[in-house]
Structure 1
């Protein structure tokens, strides 16, 4: 009888070890998905910055053209816009 609880503990530990070994591949899959999401988010962020910069350049060009038109029409141009940080 003295050996029986010890044998049950060993049996439970073996079951736990088997379950933990089954978790490793699942965690590997989760890590891969997380990494691919991170790459996608970083890519979207970079594309968004490029698009915003292009819009900013176009807006600045339109402001310059408008200022030139207003100057030609004798109107006082508005103060220059502060760039976004």
Structure 2
């Protein structure tokens, strides 16, 4: 029969190997989770910008509306000066 002290070291080595493997698996899993989180953050940022009118198309449309409003505001002033 083997002595108990002869059994302890192989068990400890096995435990260390299991712990190391679990840490590697956890690190891989967190890498995937972090990538997905970053992707969701980018998408929500794009959506937020679109809602706020911060897209290039939104800026163009807002500038066009602003030009029309300015034109409408200057017409009555010009008509008042002509009479």
With the length of structure 1 as denominator, give the TM-score of the two structures: 0.58
**Which structure 1 residue ranges, 4+ long, deviate > 6 Å from structure 2?**
none
| 1:63 lines up with 2:70 in the alignment | no
- For structure 1, the 5+ residue unaligned runs are 74-85
- For structure 2, the 5+ residue unaligned runs are none
- Larger helix proportion, structure 1 or 2? 2
CA distance in structure 1 between the partners assigned to 2:66 and 2:29 by the alignment: 52
With the length of structure 2 as denominator, give the TM-score of the two structures: 0.59
The CA RMSD over aligned residues, in Å, is 2.6
